[in-house]
Chains A and B, each alone.
Chain A
Amino acid sequence: MDGADSKGVLNQLSVLEVRARSRNTQPQQQCCVKELRAKAEALKIQRDQLEAEAQIHKVLHKLRMSMEKQCPHEEEEAMDEESENTQLLQLMARHTQLKDLLYAHHVIGGYDVIKTPQSKGVCMSLTTAYEGIYLDTYNLEIDLKHKLTITRHNIPPFIPLKDLAKQSNMQTNIRAFLDTLSLHLNAFTGRKQQLKFVKEQHQSITVMESNVLCSRLVLMFTVPRGKNAVLCRLDYTDHTRCLPTGVQFVCEDEELLDSPEWKKNCSLLKETPVHKALTTMKKNGSIV
């Protein structure tokens, strides 16, 4: 009985609640419709604006196309109605074109040269990338007064900046210097990236040793048969490259290393980036 009573009370309460809610929903809905209308109105205005902008975009695009084809006379003829606006539009088109070309120089790894505010020197950026992935960017501030001097930079200390500047005659040929430096930096970041891939992709392989320049790498493999361990030492003596110049294996089972299979592994490691060579070696069953 008690249970039925309490149920009755609860029932009544919930009926009341439903009623109260339905009273509230009416004005809420109206409010919602109002809001949405206003929103739609605002969006329509925004759309019209954007359409107008898109229209200008189209005109500018046409202008740019004719600029790139390098036939300036044609475009003048086509748009002689409003000469002032044409001048403005042409400037705008050239503006966007120049911006895009400068962006392209940046993307293709050009040396971004920026004059420093005092204009006594320039700031240069060197981009590095490995297999399509952009890596670190390094910067140099060069004083151009009477003698070129590197005033500030964020190039790691193990890259022999001074030696490279001397070797490539930075004083007379700054471009040769930048080329050499870029080669060293790209090779360094490339080797670093390879080492990262080795650690990420080959967890069954232990990296026993590596140095900051990533010019020496000692790895430990396990051979499936007999579970022998093989130490592999890679020496990158040419610091402008991402491939090792020397590959050395050490294993208790010397016969194994004399086998044609391991001779092939040796040349594979010399010719292929290390993380890819290891994938091939795993696939061939040379290592675990």
Chain B
Amino acid sequence: MSQENPEEVKVLEAQIECLQAESLSFIHLHRLYMCGQRQEEGEKVLSKLMEEVEKLEEDLERQTQMNRISLKSCTTKTLQSSGSKLVQQLSVSGHCSEMAFQVEFKLSENKVIHFIRRITDLNVVMDASDLQTFSSFLSEVEESRDLLLFFRTLRTFSDRSDDRCRTFQHFQAKYPSVVSLPGGCRSEFLWFSIISAALQLFPSQAVGGAAESFQSLLRILGPEAALESVIRAVSLSQDTQLASHLLV
């Protein structure tokens, strides 16, 4: 008996530790649930919970708006929880503008040594097959485990992409016969399809270095007017070969 008991205690303690780790965050909710089942307190609990959920919904909306990142799911799995060290596996998915992403990483916290929080094993999944410049950036981010840099860049990138989209749609609406959208309005190459035509246009006018000419146009007129003047020149040009470059 006296030998069995410590054994049993050990087993039970291990079991409890396991269960606690699994349901740590649900303990207070469970209490709520138990209260909620009792008739007299049920409504009170329900309305309180509803209030809390509403407030959280508001918080999330504010956060989504401010961060321009809409999160769809976040799953957390505790890998290690011993005294001062906590290791969690996180998987977060969502989208920024029209770019969907999923990131997975380990987050470890050490509460004893200056409360250090560290990210390891970062893995980023994005459908960036048509965004060549972005895919090389992703591998850099994974290597340096720079999660924050990824989201900062994603935000800026999608903002720029939105700007480009608006600009391109503006020009397409204004000059539908000259400007086309070869790679869709979000393609990162849309500027190039116009500029490359422009670069071919300038040498024929014998102005000198093509790139320099466009650069000086940019400086003098700003991007919108510069592009507009190029498009006009192309559409006025009798050279059908040149005009065709824009329609590739």
Contact = CB atoms under 8 A, between A and B. Distances in A.
A255 B84 CA distance: 54
B74 interface: yes
B1 A102 contact: no
B117 A133 contact: yes
Interface in A72-115: 84-85, 87-89, 91-92, 94-105, 107-113
A251 interface: no
B33 A92 contact: yes
B2 A32 contact: yes
A87 B120 CA distance: 38
A108 B69 contact: yes
Contact of A132 (B63, B66, B118): B118
Contact of B147 (A40, A88, A98, A109): A109
B116 interface: yes
B68 A175 contact: yes
B69 A105 contact: yes
A46 B9 CA distance: 13
26 contacts: A40-B9, A43-B12, A46-B16, A53-B27, A56-B33, A60-B26, A84-B46, A87-B46, A88-B36, A88-B45, A91-B46, A92-B29, A92-B49, A100-B74, A102-B60, A102-B63, A104-B74, A105-B60, A105-B69, A107-B92, A109-B151, A129-B147, A134-B117, A179-B156, A186-B148, A186-B149
B152 A91 contact: no
Nearest to A42: B12
Interface in B45-94: 45-46, 49-50, 52-53, 56-57, 59-60, 62-64, 66-69, 71-76, 90, 92
Nearest to A106: B63
B71 A104 contact: yes
Interface of B: 1-2, 5-6, 8-9, 12-13, 15-16, 19-20, 22-23, 25-27, 29-30, 32-33, 36-37, 42, 45-46, 49-50, 52-53, 56-57, 59-60, 62-64, 66-69, 71-76, 90, 92, 103, 107, 116-120, 122, 144-149, 151-152, 155-156
A236 B32 CA distance: 55
A131 interface: yes
A98 B56 contact: yes
A29 B2 CA distance: 8
Nearest to A51: B19
B23 A57 contact: yes
A95 B16 contact: no
Contacts of A29: 2
Given A50-B23, A129-B147, A84 B63 contact: no
User: Size range of the interface on A?
Assistant: 35 or more
A221 B5 CA distance: 66
Contacts of A87: 46
Contacts of A175: 66, 68
B49 A113 contact: no
Nearest to A69: B73
Contact of B152 (A37, A131, A186): A186
A105 B5 CA distance: 47
